[in-house]
Structure 1
Amino acid sequence: MPDVLIELEDVSYRYGDETALEHVSLQVRKGEFWAVIGPNGSGKSTLIKLILGLIAPQTGQVQLFGKPVGTFRNKERIGYVSQKSNAFNSAFPATVSEVVKSGLVKKTGMFRRYPEDADEKVMRALDAVGMAEYAGRSIGRLSGGQQQRVFIARALISGPELLILDEPTVGIDREHMESFYDMLGRLNREKSIAILLVTHDVDTVSELVTHVACVNRSIHFHGPQEEYNRREERIRNDWYGHPVRRIRHPKGEGEK
């Protein structure tokens, strides 16, 4: 099926005696926007590692763009943004433009020259996330939310068809989350980029995404967000293992 970008079939993974995921099956298609939700320790990070090929499934199989993940080589078709705030050194001596341009390395190779239109690609990627005016600014002088936009621009510069975001709002003030999520929605709608968003922000489910996967070692639900929202609250709480508190994003002025 050419429109299937990610496919997991009966995938399980254990860390020693501890089960992280068991019998997980999931498909992500072109243009879809998925929220992967679940409590801490539910296996969400393991799921992302399996999809990215960082670990291999112990049972089942993972495919990217119709190929086994272990043989998939077209890395530029996938953009990935991790929980930046836990690892990024804000004193790193680089401009916004330089950080974004480094995203071309996976396409050009570590020791190859950047293409002649690299600077144009940088500005297009920054414009897509509303950060073009900051191109010459030091990355360390930006807010957490602005830095995350820059890292998304870095992931976009190679023209990916799939964007994977692992809890990207870690370190972003809640008052700025709405504009951040709106930016993701525009990327999905206007550029037809499929997005897989790992999040604890359950409110995102009903306001932004097209599909939901609720993970707690196994997949308790996967399907359209309208169907997820129709499920009774007690059922959703059972999936999580505790009551899920829905939080509304405050209406702000957008991120500066």
Structure 2
Amino acid sequence: MTLTHQLVADEITLAYGDRLVVDELALEVAPGRITAIVGANGCGKSTLLRALARLLSPKSGQVVLDGVELNSRPTKEVARLIGLLPQSPIAPEGIVVADLVGRGRHPHQGLFARWSRADDEAVAAALDATGIADLADRSVDELSGGQRQRVWIAMALAQQTDILLLDEPTTFLDVAHQIEVLDLLADLNRARGTTIVMVLHDLNLASRYADEIVAVCRGRVHALGEPGVVVTAELVSEVFGLDSEVIADPLTGKPLVLPRGRHHVS
């Protein structure tokens, strides 16, 4: 079981140049739990995740880790605590799968440290967990989009951080592999107590796998809490502009969103 860490966005405002994206947003990430960030396109989900990973500095406010401002911590220390899978990462040309996954071990190595048995074991475990051990010697350039996505997830797992941030981890994956990846993240959370924060587009998958839902709308937290409390027809209308019916998932009892659409109105 990993130690829990407190990751907090304290009234942060985020912008790209003059374009304001997130406005005085406050969020305390639930330690040791799975949090899903949901919202319409352009609402600030990915921008928020980038700030939590220290890839984007707030215009105002601050991101705090264990009571210390994230930007004041050494880069390598942050990398040992927080892992990130961004949207559409780019692999170095010609790199093979095992070498790319192995890059997740860099934060654990000192200036003159050699590759260790622990590094080998971490990479092997990440390859096995994501079902790509048979691709270890393949060039990443040769893989399908779904295979590449699993390679990036394996690299994040090899980093073995206590906090894992993932921006749309099910992108490019078919339905079966989406479930496999989310099951894998749930297993990681339960086995190690890893705090997981992920941006998801699919509300039903978010409701099924997350302990907490953060619904973002117009750069602010619109609602936060357990899926059964947050995911309602009213919220779906307010955040996504979608008319829907929300019922209990017959498999999990979690909310299940049924969009109406213009052609399916009872």
TM-score by length of 2: 0.80
Contact 1:145–1:180 at 8 Å: present in 2 too? no
SS at match of 1:117: helix
Alignment-mate amino acid for residue 115 of structure 1: S
* Structure 1: segments with no counterpart, 5+ residues: 249-256
Counterparts in 2 of 1:38-77, with a 5 A limit? Answer: 38-73=39-74, 74=77, 75-77=79-81
Partner of 1:99: 100
Q: 1:159 to 1:247 in 2, by over 3 A?
A: farther
Note the C-alpha offset of 1:112.
5.0
1: CA distance between counterparts of 2:44 and 2:230?
20
The CA RMSD over aligned residues, in Å, is 2.6
CA distance in 1, matches of 2:85, 2:258: 24
Distance 2:72 2:13 in 1: 19
Q: Name the residue aligned to 1:134.
A: 135
For residues 124-150 of structure 1, the C-alpha deviation after alignment (integer angstroms, 9 at most, x for no partner) is 222232333332333334332332222
Mapped to 2, the partners of 1:223 and 1:140 lie a distance apart of 40
Query: How far, CA to CA, are the matches of 1:126 and 1:67 in structure 2?
Result: 34
Question: Over residues 66-108 of structure 1, what are the superposed CA-to-partner deviations in whole Å (9 max), with x where a residue is unaligned?
Answer: 3211112321111111123xx536x932322111111122332
The residue aligned with 2:238 is 238
Aligned pairs for 1:1-256 (under 5 A) are 3-73=4-74, 74=77, 75-84=79-88, 87-88=89-90, 92-108=93-109, 113-216=114-217, 217-229=219-231, 231=232, 233-243=233-243, 246=257
In structure 2, the CA distance between the partners of 1:14 and 1:159, relative to structure 1 (3 Å rule), is: closer
CA pair 111-3 structure 1, distance change in 2 beyond 3 A: closer
C-alpha contact 2:4 2:162 (8 A) present in aligned 1: no
Task: Output one character per residue of 1:18-50: Cα deviation in whole Å (capped at 9) or x when no partner.
Answer: 331112111113221011011111011221121
- Aligned match of 1:253: none
Report the more deviating stretch, 39-48 or 178-187. Answer: 178-187
Using the TM superposition, give the Cα deviation of residue 213 of structure 1 relative to its aligned residue in structure 2, in angstroms: 0.4
Q: Partners of 1:68 and 1:244 in 2: how far apart? A: 41
Amino acid at match of 1:222: L
Higher mean alpha-carbon deviation, 159-168 vs 116-125, is at 116-125
- Shift, 1:110, TM fit: 7.5
Distance 1:247 1:126 in 2: 36
Q: Work out the CA distance in 2 between the residues paired with 1:149 and 1:187.
A: 15
Query: Which ranges of structure 2 fall in alignment gaps of 5 or more residues?
Result: 246-256, 260-266
> What is the rounded CA distance, in whole Å, between the counterparts of 2:215 and 2:69 in structure 1?
24
Q: TM-score when scaled to structure 1? A: 0.83
The 1:39–1:62 alpha-carbon spacing in structure 2 relative to 1, beyond 3 Å, is same
User: What SS does structure 2 have at the residue aligned with 1:40?
Assistant: coil
Structure 1 residues 243 and 63: CA distance shift in structure 2, 3 A = farther
Aligned length: 242
Distance 2:244 2:199 in 1: 16
Q: Distance in 1 between matches of 2:182 and 2:53?
A: 23
Q: Percent same amino acid among aligned pairs?
A: 32
* 1:33–1:143 distance in 2 versus 1, CA, 3 Å: same
Deviates most, 21-30 or 111-120: 111-120
Quickly say closer, same or farther: Cα 1:176–1:130, change in 2 above 3 A.
closer
Question: How far off its partner does 1:206 sit?
Answer: 1.9
